[in-house]
């Protein structure tokens, strides 16, 4: 079996500063978190930006510009920019920074969906910022929009025009069929790197049967033309990653997807989660991919051809 690519998603747009003091927010924090995660074994860093004053998810290219060159200097990991941003952002806003940066990789959510974060609000008693509570509670009536037209636009403007390749985020079986549709339209090239996403309210739950079924259908739709990786939200993160590693898949961890390192215990850093999953991977007799090996597996254009 091939090496396992560990992706680390450093901060995301789901969790808010009140939930953990360890969530990276400023450019310096995101840079330091990324470098440490890469040293621990992450070959890919999945990136979102935040407003350094408020910790709110940000699509402002200036906030990305503040850490992208520093991360590039500080480590060799593949820098993967989110095009999902946050459900409250327009596609125009979500695309601004990736278009400017022309990264090697970008995330791409394969459908429109509910992205319900509001149950998390009930657990917080001390709010650090005014925006957090309405941001989480408002997700009971919020649509994350990625229509086929949006997906085609992202593929064209980032993939075809800027040479990015994609982390295809599939939250449900239906998203695999949408991905096949774009392969049939000739808008994407194999090998496809498919990120199965479990445990987001609005997407599939973190049940092992869902993982085996996703693999079964992806095998049918893509044959040998794809690789899968697994991310699972919250407490499901490590068990589902272990399952993915045992099944020949890749893994994603990071504070974007879970703030914990064990039951009732906050992770003190992204690197801590990378170290933990690395231990699982190696205990299963699999090797962790270096950034260079990840570039070869995913056929990336190389860090020298980005615009930052």
Q: Shortest distance, CB of residue 304 to Zn ion, whole angstroms?
A: 25
Closest CB to ligand KMH among 58 and 107? 107
- The helix or strand, by DSSP H or E, that contains position 45, with its residue range, turns out to be strand 44-47
Structure tokens at 143: 């649509």
Distances in whole angstroms, Cα of residue 71 to Cα of each of 118, 222, 248, 255, 286: 32, 34, 29, 17, 27
Closest CB to Zn ion among 31 and 82? 82
Pick what 210 binds: Zn ion, ligand KMH, none; C-beta below 5 to 8 Å, kind-dependent: none
Judged by CB under 5 A, the residue of 82, 83, 258, 273 near Zn ion is 82
CA distance 104 to 304: 9
Q: Is 172 an interacting residue with respect to ligand KMH (CB under 6 A)?
A: no
Q: Shortest distance, CB of residue 146 to ligand KMH, whole angstroms?
A: 9
Closest CB to Zn ion among 219 and 236? 236
Q: Is 14 an interacting residue with respect to ligand KMH (CB under 6 A)?
A: yes
Distant-in-sequence, close-in-space partners of 33: CB < 8 Å, separation ≥ 6 = 10, 11, 24, 255, 269, 270, 271
Structure tokens at 34: 């990324």
- How many residues of this chain interact with ligand KMH, rule: CB under 6 A? 13
Helix (H, G, I), strand (E, B) or coil at 276: helix
Of 233-262, binders to ligand KMH (CB under 6 A) are 256-257
Cα Rg, the chain, nearest whole Å: 18
Distance of CA 173 to the CA centre of its chain: 18
Pick what 109 binds: Zn ion, ligand KMH, none; C-beta below 5 to 8 Å, kind-dependent: ligand KMH
Only one of the segments 8-16, 17-25, 67-75, 286-294 lies at the binding site for ligand KMH (rule: CB under 6 A); that segment is 8-16
Q: Shortest distance, CB of residue 142 to Zn ion, whole angstroms?
A: 16
Q: Is 178 an interacting residue with respect to ligand KMH (CB under 6 A)?
A: no
Q: Is 291 an interacting residue with respect to ligand KMH (CB under 6 A)?
A: no
Of 179-198, binders to ligand KMH (CB under 6 A) are 197
Site string for ligand KMH, 91-110 (x = CB under 6 A): ----------------x-x-
Q: Are 87 and 51 in contact (CB under 8 A)?
A: no
Helix (H, G, I), strand (E, B) or coil at 49: strand
Judged by CB under 6 A, the residue of 82, 139, 237, 270 near ligand KMH is 82
Kindly give the residue spans of alpha helices, DSSP state H, lying in the chain.
Answer: 27-40, 61-65, 68-74, 91-101, 132-137, 148-154, 173-184, 208-222, 237-246, 270-283, 291-298
- How many residues of this chain interact with Zn ion, rule: CB under 5 A? 2
Site residues for ligand KMH per CB under 6 A = 9, 12, 14, 82-84, 107, 109, 169, 197, 200, 256-257
């Amino acid at each position: 079996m091939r090496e396992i690519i560990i992706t680390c998603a450093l901060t995301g747009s789901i969790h808010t500063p009140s939930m953990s003091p360890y969530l990276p927010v400023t450019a310096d924090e995101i840079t330091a978190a990324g470098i440490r995660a890469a040293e621990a074994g992450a070959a890919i860093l999945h990136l979102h930006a935040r407003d350094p004053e408020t910790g709110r998810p940000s699509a402002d290219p200036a906030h990305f510009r503040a850490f992208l060159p520093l991360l590039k200097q500080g480590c060799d990991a593949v820098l993967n920019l989110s095009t999902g941003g946050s459900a409250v952002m327009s596609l125009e806003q979500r695309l601004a920074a990736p278009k400017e940066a022309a990264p090697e990789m970008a995330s791409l959510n394969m459908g429109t969906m509910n992205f319900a974060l509001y149950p998390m609000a009930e657990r917080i008693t001390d709010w650090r910022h005014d925006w957090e509570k309405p941001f989480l509670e408002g997700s009971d009536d919020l649509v994350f929009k990625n229509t086929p037209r949006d997906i085609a636009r992202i593929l064209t403007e980032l993939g075809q025009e800027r040479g990015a390749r994609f982390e295809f985020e599939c939250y449900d079986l239906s998203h695999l069929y949408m991905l096949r549709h774009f392969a049939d339209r000739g808008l994407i090239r194999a090998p496809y790197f498919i990120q199965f996403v479990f445990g987001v309210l609005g997407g599939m739950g973190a049940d092992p049967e869902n993982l085996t079924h996703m693999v079964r259908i992806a095998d049918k739709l893509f044959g040998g033309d794809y690789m899968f990786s697994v991310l699972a939200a919250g407490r499901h993160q490590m068990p589902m990653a272990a399952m993915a590693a045992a099944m020949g898949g890749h893994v994603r961890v990071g504070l974007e997807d879970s703030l914990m390192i064990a039951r009732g215990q906050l992770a003190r850093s992204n690197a801590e989660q990378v170290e933990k999953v690395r231990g699982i991977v190696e205990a299963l007799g699999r090797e962790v991919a270096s950034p260079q090996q990840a570039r070869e597996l995913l056929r990336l254009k190389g860090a020298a051809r980005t615009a930052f």
